Structure 1
Amino acid sequence: MRIIAGQFRSVTLASVGKGDAAAHLRPTTDRVRESLFNVLSHHDVIDGARVLDLFAGTGALGLEALSRGAAHVSFVDDGRVAGRLLRENIRKLRVEGLTQIHRCDLRQLPQCKSEPFDLVFLDPPYGKGLGAAALARAEAGNWLSPDAFVVWEEASAMPPPSGYTEVDYRRYGDTHITLLSKIST
């Protein structure tokens, strides 16, 4: 697993190895990340963005965004192994000042104490129904900007929850990515 493009292009990230089966560590493959970021570049949502990486795992999605011009990334995950890999990847890229780690269960995400986020990566364990709950909790906690752009990776296409509209949808094998835009009120 490596950073595909941008400032940290070709830097190899920490290996998941056997990972953490209980935490469902399943990093997005390089091929899927490359295709996804081509789509995100087309939508012009990366440059200068404040990124929220929910179910961050190794942090590959958020770190790729940072490499491509995002201003800041906050990572949220409660996994022990994920936390270790995430900290290792942040140190490897020397981006401690541009990142923040929140170790908590997404269903109990506290109120946001910073500016809201423009780009959200939502990559929950497949088929557990956690994505919608985490997105609702992030919204209730004021983590999302009024025009937030959400990238939702799951085992199947995800219908947009209330308050969101589908912008794009892509399928890469058994990985389904639904791109959503928050409807401004």
Structure 2
Amino acid sequence: MFQYLPLASQLNNKLKIISGRYKSRSINIPDKPNLRPSKAFIRETLFNVIDIGLCSSSLDLFSGSGILSFEALSRGIKSATLIEKDIDLVRSIKSNMSVLNIEGASVIKSMVNKFLLNHDIGPYDIIFIDPPYNTSLLDETFQLLKNKNYLENNKYLYYEKSKKDKSEYEKYFNETHDIIKDLSIGDVSYTILISKNL
């Protein structure tokens, strides 16, 4: 049975950035029972697949700890927008940005659907989507992204979902993106997509 040891562990409510400018620097995260930051192995896989040299901006929906954006910024993304509704997590992200002296990043306290409905966003080169599992939020988010044509000029998409979620999300992006990595570890599925224009 496959078992991995994370390259960057979550210890004492801290997460380590695994590569780039901020390699080995830690971010603090609040003690939240439903917070599930992306594992180090997954982050490493994600950013090994993405050609970060093609990307200058990212949008992090349901950003949680913000670790995906911190990894992207560490690896050279020039601007990052993080959307999170939980005020404690928003404050934590802002504090970590300050400690790391990060410029070009902003965190917005908002429900993701309200943000997408009320803002003309992008284009963003990378969009991270990691909503709470076993809800309709992933489907709703893809609907909004597609209906508002936010996927047209996007280079990479990444989303996480429960392996029990059997919904067919391909209908939202099969005209604009191809799946380049799709893996499952434990109860979670991880999918990375690339624009058909690349």
Shorter-chain TM-score tier = 0.7 to 0.9
Q: Does the 8 Å contact 2:139/2:169 carry over to 1? A: no
Structure 1's 114 and 108: CA in aligned 2 closer, same or farther, altered over 3 A? closer
- Is 1:65 paired with 2:72? yes
- Is 1:39 paired with 2:10? no
Partner amino acid, structure 2, of 1:5: S
Partner amino acid, structure 2, of 1:9: K
Q: Secondary structure at the match of 2:72?
A: helix
**Equivalent-residue separation in structure 2 for 1:142 and 1:88 (angstroms):** 33
2:104 matched residue in structure 1: 98
Larger Rg, first or second structure (1 or 2): 2
Q: Does the 8 Å contact 1:132/1:161 carry over to 2? A: no
1:30 matched residue in structure 2: 40
**Equivalent-residue separation in structure 1 for 2:29 and 2:151 (angstroms):** 31
Structure 1's 104 and 143: CA in aligned 2 closer, same or farther, altered over 3 A? farther
**Equivalent-residue separation in structure 2 for 1:56 and 1:101 (angstroms):** 9
- Is 1:8 paired with 2:27? no
- Show the 5 A alignment for 1:21-170: 21=33, 24-40=34-50, 44-45=51-52, 47-95=54-102, 97-109=103-115, 110-113=117-120, 115-141=122-148, 143-156=150-163, 159-164=169-174, 165-170=178-183
Q: Secondary structure at the match of 2:180?
A: strand
> Which deviates the most, 158-167 or 76-85?
158-167
- After superposition, the CA RMSD in angstroms is 2.3
Larger RCO (alpha carbons 8 Å, 6+ apart): 1
**Equivalent-residue separation in structure 1 for 2:118 and 2:149 (angstroms):** 6
**Equivalent-residue separation in structure 2 for 1:152 and 1:29 (angstroms):** 13
- Is 1:177 paired with 2:190? yes
Q: Secondary structure at the match of 1:146?
A: coil
> Which deviates the most, 135-144 or 31-40?
135-144
Identical pairs, percent = 26
Give the TM-score normalised by the residue count of structure 1: 0.82
Q: Does the 8 Å contact 1:76/1:106 carry over to 2? A: yes
Give the TM-score normalised by the residue count of structure 2: 0.78
Q: Secondary structure at the match of 1:162?
A: helix
Q: CA deviation at 1:3?
A: 0.5
